[in-house]
């Protein structure tokens, strides 16, 4: 039995047999495993993901693929060929992506409740006050109407901002290029490093959702890391749109990264690499040409309809 078994289950095969499957799988998973075994015994192929608890209580996931082998037509089952792949890291990254999406929804919900609602209440209160005064024969002054218009304009701006956050890559909002431009604008701080964005558009962007969203989130995470950790004076974000490739680059003039930083990457870096993998992109993070750090993500463009 391979060392992979002991890594996943945290014990030897003999110990696994001694403890029994109930020590590692819940009842529902055991039922799925038994049903899968019956499927293979009847001659069908099997592919399933199963969740388990290793001997130390840690949750892990396996992807099991199996098929039956028969000696010949009409012959009985000779043997079963199968492989189990440890997909724990992939599942944890998937959970992290879902959690990030949940937190973003929670943030937007809070912004709607705390900011937009309060602004609308302010507009309503002022309008009611002016209406009550009008019933008593007093006409609203120009200053009062200006104040109402100002409150309404602020509320419209908040609605626009929330709409962009809900769908930052919508073509109605300018697509990926505008989303990156807006992201840089929001992150720019007069007290922080200078952040600049350039788009080099030598071809139309044919990449579609959800791939553009993954590329945008990679840029978002990369810029956030540079702002938090680089101690940089300037950060340059570039998107080069070429006929066959999208190239995202984020370069800073900060303190750089330790030689072993990519080997001991945190969850954010792992998620960026996972997002790149999902869209068939190549992500590299290393020293910049003049010091600092450079992130490069190259993503293939889909073939054009005319190709």
pLDDT value for 261: 52
Structural fold of domain 171-300: Heat Shock Protein 90 (3.30.565)
Longest dimension (CA), the chain: 99
The CATH class of the 3-86 domain is alpha beta
Question: What's the pLDDT at 159?
Answer: 86
Task: pLDDT band for 72, please (50, 70, 90 cuts).
Answer: low
Provide the pLDDT for residue 260.
53
Give the start-to-end residue ranges of the domains of the chain.
3-86, 92-166, 171-300
User: Which range, of 198-207, 213-222, 283-292, averages the lowest pLDDT?
Assistant: 283-292
Confidence of residue 150 (pLDDT cuts 50, 70, 90): very high
**Per-residue pLDDT band at 307 (split at 50, 70, 90):** very low
Identical fold for domains 3-86 and 171-300, yes or no, is no
More confident residue, 262 or 34: 34
Query: Cα-flanking dihedrals φ and ψ of residue 82, to 5°?
Result: -155, 160
Nearest residue to 223 via CA among 210, 236, 208:
236
pTM greater than 0.75:
no
Q: 48-70: per-residue pLDDT in tens?
A: 999 999 999 899 999 999 988 87
Residue 299 has pLDDT above 60, yes or no: yes
Residues 95-124, mean pLDDT to the nearest whole number: 87
Is pLDDT above 60 for 10? Answer: yes
Q: What is the pLDDT of the chain when averaged over all its residues?
A: 86
pLDDT, tens digit (0-9, with 9 covering 90-100), for 164-212: 777 777 776 678 999 999 889 888 766 778 899 999 999 999 999 889 9
Mode of pairing for the β-strands spanning 59-70 and 46-53:
antiparallel
pLDDT digits (tens, 9 = 90+) for 243-282: 999 999 999 998 877 555 544 347 788 899 999 999 999 9
**Count of alpha carbons within 13 Å of 196, Cβ hemisphere only?**
9
Q: For residue 71, is pLDDT > 80?
A: no
* pLDDT, position 50: 92
Q: For 125, phi and psi rounded to 5 degrees?
A: -65, -45
Q: Is it the case that residue 45 has pLDDT exceeding 60?
A: yes
Average pLDDT of the segment spanning 38-44: 84
pLDDT of residue 180: 94
Residues 116, 159 contacting (CB under 8 angstroms): yes
Return the pLDDT at 1.
Answer: 54
- List, as one string, the DSSP characters of the chain: --HHHHHHHSS-HHHHHHH-GGGTS-HHHHHHHHHHHHHHHTT--EEEEEEEE-TTS-EEEEEEEEEEEESSTT--EEEEEEEEEE-HHHHHHHHHHHHHHHHHHHHHHHHIIIIIHHHHHHHHHHHHHHHHHHHTTPPPPHHHHHHHHHHHHHHHHHHHHHHHHHSTT-GGGTHHHHHHHHHHHHH--TTS-EEEEEEEESS-----TTHHHHHHHHHHHHHHHHHHHS--SEEEEEEEE-SSEEEEEEEE-SS---TTTTTT--HHHHHHHHHHHHTT-EEEEEE-BTBSEEEEEEEEPPPPTT-
pLDDT band at 301 (very low <50, low <70, confident <90, very high): very high
């Amino acid at each position: 039995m391979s060392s992979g078994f002991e890594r996943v289950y945290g014990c030897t095969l003999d110990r696994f047999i001694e403890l029994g499957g109930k020590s590692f799988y819940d009842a529902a998973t055991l039922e799925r495993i038994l049903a899968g075994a019956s499927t293979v015994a009847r001659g069908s192929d099997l592919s399933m993901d199963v969740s388990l608890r290793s001997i130390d209580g840690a949750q892990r996931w396996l992807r099991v693929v199996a098929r039956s082998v028969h000696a010949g037509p009409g012959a009985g089952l000779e043997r079963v060929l199968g492989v189990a792949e440890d997909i724990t890291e992939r599942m944890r990254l998937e959970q992290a992506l879902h959690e990030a999406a949940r937190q973003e929804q929670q943030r937007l919900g809070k912004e709607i409740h705390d900011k937009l609602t309060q602004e609308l209440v302010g507009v309503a209160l002022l309008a009611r006050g002016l209406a009550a005064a009008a019933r008593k024969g007093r006409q609203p002054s120009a200053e009062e109407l200006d104040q109402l218009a100002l409150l309404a304009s602020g509320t419209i701006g908040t609605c626009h901002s929330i709409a962009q956050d809900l769908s930052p890559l919508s073509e109605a909002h300018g697509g990926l290029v505008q989303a990156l431009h807006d992201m840089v604008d929001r992150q720019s701080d007069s007290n922080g490093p200078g952040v600049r964005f350039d788009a080099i558009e030598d071809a139309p962007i044919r990449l579609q959702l959800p791939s553009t969203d993954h590329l945008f989130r990679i840029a978002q995470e990369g810029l956030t890391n540079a702002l938090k950790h680089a101690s940089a004076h300037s950060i340059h974000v570039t998107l080069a749109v070429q006929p066959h490739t999208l190239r995202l680059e984020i370069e800073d003039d900060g303190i750089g990264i330790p030689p072993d930083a990519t080997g001991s990457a945190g969850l954010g870096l792992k998620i960026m690499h996972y997002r790149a993998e999902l869209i068939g992109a190549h992500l590299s993070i290393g020293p910049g040409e003049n010091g600092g750090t450079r992130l490069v993500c190259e993503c293939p463009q889909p073939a054009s309809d005319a190709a």
